[in-house]
Structure 1
Amino acid sequence: MAGAPEIGTKSVLGKVAAVLYAFTADDHGVSLAELGRRTGIPKGSLHRIVGDMVEVRLLERAGRGYRLSGQVFQLGMRASVERGLVEVATPFMEDLYERTHETVHLGVLEGAEVVYVSKLGGHRQATSPSRIGGRMPAHCTAIGKAMLAFSPPDVLAGVLDGELVRRTPRTITAPGLLRRQVERIAETRVAFEYEESATGIVCVAAPVLDPYDRPVAAISVTGPVARFRPEAHQVSVKAAAAGIAGTLARRAALIPHAD
């Protein structure tokens, strides 16, 4: 295909990549025969590869053909959005760190989990279970609860109906109690965690919302219970979240849209 990189198709991964690159922006459904013509992969091998790609939601059926799935689009958007998100958020995270000298996190929500996309902390930082690219259950983190409070009802219901794993003696595992706390967070736009993800750790977080109050991410400050008072920093964290949201919105407004 024009503009696609040269891809060897001897390996399974090469064949998968060749199929992905075989689609164009104008395709609404491509037959197996046409995919074979575009990729040069033998029909029998191609049939198995395409079937596996449908199973893992990289492709979906479209009539008698196939098309790229919404999952592929979401993966591309995630890569683009997270790079831009971290770029925008970094100055606000640095400001929070200078104000608190505690660990500052930026996270996004994937299903029932928080994925940490950025982290700042110096020599005084708390011993936290988080790491960049790491995951934590949303129900036991301030970042997770901040985003759940503004997520679609089915996302919150999925968390409440699922297993609320107990990570410490203070983890909230009662669905009704968690729902009430999330409802309160939706009113105040700030979330707290008191030794719910790890013993000895407390945290304050605020959601980064788009213009329609949908959660893009959340930012938090975490410290040890012996010295850190999360309530004292809620205004600063909310201001940082609002600053990130405002900058993202201004950037989006500058992007030309097709009529």
Structure 2
Amino acid sequence: MAGNTGTPGATVTGRIMAILGAFDDHHARLALTDLARRAGLPVPTAHRLVGELVRHGALARSGDGYVVGRRLWELGLLAPIESTLRETAAPFLHDIHAATRATVHLAVRDGREALYLERMAGRASVPVVSSVGSTLPLHATGVGKVLLAHAPEDVRRAVLASLARVTPYTITQPGRLNEQLGQIRRVGYATTVEEMSLGACSVATPVHRRGQVVAAIGVVVPTLRRDRGRLAAALQVAAQGISRQLAALPPA
């Protein structure tokens, strides 16, 4: 159970964190009773604390339940690595978007998922399911494959052991995906073909800082038949520029 704080003597801070921790990818919206149960709190206590969180923007009402509020996302963007990445990458992402008119992504790894820090799209862009602040599977997205290829071994093993099918083209064979991850490390970019959304293909490359892959940038296009090499080269140039600027910053 997420954030269970049924232990006597739990502090107010602990109870609030239990409420916030009750939300996850499979429980993005929760009714009050479900929220109280997952947080391990009496309903009256949960009701009082949830009311405070709503007033401060940390939670928001949605239909007959509650969702995480925008204020938490705004605070999350102030974390040093996220804010630095977004600010540093922004001009490079704008250049890629202007040149391709494709949807452009900046993402980091959040556990076993890709967390999208930035998305740029226009009217001509392919419709995608990503949004700023959302998470998507590592194994089914271009930026996710890049991040998975450079993730710690235990993360790769865990992801390979639970490959969920998103579309008919999602790779769910561990051996095949693991082979792709090795190729990504060798060639420096990843691709997907309708593995997250039908009609959407992607190319993505890693962003480095001090020898570590800290993020991935990518584009989503209708097809890779003609422009795979050109898109990969453009992304690699942009990623190198971002990496150089990150390297010039003082250590976090």
TM-score by length of 1: 0.67
Q: Counterparts of 1:177 and 1:226 in 2: how far apart (Å)?
A: 20
2:171 corresponds to which residue? 172
2:48 aligned with 1:49? no
Shift of 1:129: 0.6
Residues 228 and 201 (structure 1 numbering): CA distance in 2 closer, same or farther, change over 3 Å? farther
Shift of 1:232: 2.5
CA contact (8 A) 1:185 1:191 kept: yes
Q: Which amino acid aligns with 1:178?
A: L
CA contact (8 A) 1:208 1:244 kept: yes
Q: Which amino acid aligns with 1:242?
A: Q
Q: Aligned Cα RMSD in Å?
A: 2.7
Q: Which amino acid aligns with 2:11?
A: I
Q: Counterparts of 1:197 and 1:76 in 2: how far apart (Å)?
A: 26
Larger-Rg structure:
1
Shift of 1:229: 3.2
2:240 corresponds to which residue? 242
Q: Which amino acid aligns with 1:183?
A: G
Q: Counterparts of 1:173 and 1:231 in 2: how far apart (Å)?
A: 25
CA contact (8 A) 1:192 1:203 kept: yes
Shift of 1:230: 3.0
Q: Where do 1:1-259 residues align within 5 Å?
A: 47-49=9-11, 52=14, 79-161=79-161, 163-212=162-211, 214-225=212-223, 229-252=227-250
CA contact (8 A) 1:204 1:231 kept: no
Residues 217 and 49 (structure 1 numbering): CA distance in 2 closer, same or farther, change over 3 Å? same
State, as a whole percentage, how many aligned pairs show the same letter: 36
1:3 corresponds to which residue? none
Question: Gaps (5+ residues) in structure 1?
Answer: 1-43, 59-74
Q: Counterparts of 2:84 and 2:141 in 1: how far apart (Å)?
A: 24
Between stretches 203-212 and 86-95, larger displacement belongs to: 203-212
**Alignment length (residue pairs):** 191
Q: Counterparts of 2:222 and 2:77 in 1: how far apart (Å)?
A: 35
Residues 49 and 85 (structure 1 numbering): CA distance in 2 closer, same or farther, change over 3 Å? same
Q: Counterparts of 1:115 and 1:228 in 2: how far apart (Å)?
A: 29
Q: Which amino acid aligns with 2:137?
A: P
Q: Which amino acid aligns with 2:168?
A: P
Shift of 1:52: 4.5
Question: Gaps (5+ residues) in structure 2?
Answer: 1-6, 21-74
**Secondary structure of 2:151's aligned partner:** coil
Q: Which amino acid aligns with 2:163?
A: L
Measured against aligned partners, the alpha-carbon deviations of 1:207-240 in whole angstroms (never above 9, x if no partner) come to: 112222x221100011113887333311110111
Measured against aligned partners, the alpha-carbon deviations of 1:69-103 in whole angstroms (never above 9, x if no partner) come to: xxxxxx98982211111000000001111221111
CA contact (8 A) 1:208 1:241 kept: yes
1:30 corresponds to which residue? none
Shift of 1:50: 7.7
**Secondary structure of 1:119's aligned partner:** strand
CA contact (8 A) 2:194 2:201 kept: yes
TM-score by length of 2: 0.69
Q: Which amino acid aligns with 1:101?
A: R
CA contact (8 A) 2:77 2:83 kept: no
CA contact (8 A) 1:168 1:196 kept: yes
Q: Counterparts of 2:118 and 2:173 in 1: how far apart (Å)?
A: 30
